[in-house]
Structure 1
Amino acid sequence: MLLLGVIVLHLGLNVAGLWSWQCPLPTTIGIDCPGCGLTRSVISLLHGRIWVSLSEHLFGGVAVCFGLLLVINVLLPERIRMRYIATVKKWELSSGFMQIVLGLWLVYWLFRLVQHAY
């Protein structure tokens, strides 16, 4: 619930054009983090600008999908939520989905780092 609140707060501040916390990686070590551009990508996607979203961060759509699943989970009644969590956990453990997504995200980040270097 706290994670959802932080995400909503961050997106809300950015949509409103107000200051929000900044990523420390570019300011401290000078490289983009794996999530750089993700907030802009999600906001663009929520405004229906799909191509802009994809150009800002390829995983914006993935973040929106995970966010929707998180919201659904929070809104479900307790009994159904526990079954939902157990089902998702079983599926994640058997499919390796999260490892695949995180691996692709890492490859995408490394590609962006190399692309920005040249």
Structure 2
Amino acid sequence: MSLILAFLFLSSCSQFEANEKQEQEPIIGQATMTAAFDGYLHFTDNCIIVRPEGEKGVQLAILGDQVISDLTENSLVYEGKKYTEGNYIRVGGGGVGDSAAFKKEHNLNECSDLEIFIPN
């Protein structure tokens, strides 16, 4: 029995040493999340909101990059089409992980604690 335990101990030590000597290269990659969000367009308290029926919705972040243009108090142009209050819209883009920090960094209005969606 002691011979078996000694063998197991030695083999486990040699496996540990072999794994310890291997150099691990870091895995480097970029991940981007793209999605589409659709719902009805609402303009409230200087916020642009896309809200599916019966749901909370998201706040669109307009960062000055011509994706959404001709922005007025109650209309916008997205992909060459004009949308106004209550129109159904499908917007491609991605969400933001930490909405509060993003809003502060980009000086965006607080819109009912909605998540941020950046159109692309």
Give the shorter-chain TM-score range: under 0.3
Structure with greater contact order relative to length (CA < 8 Å, sep ≥ 6): 2
Greater gyration radius: 2
Report the structure, 1 or 2, having the larger strand content: 2
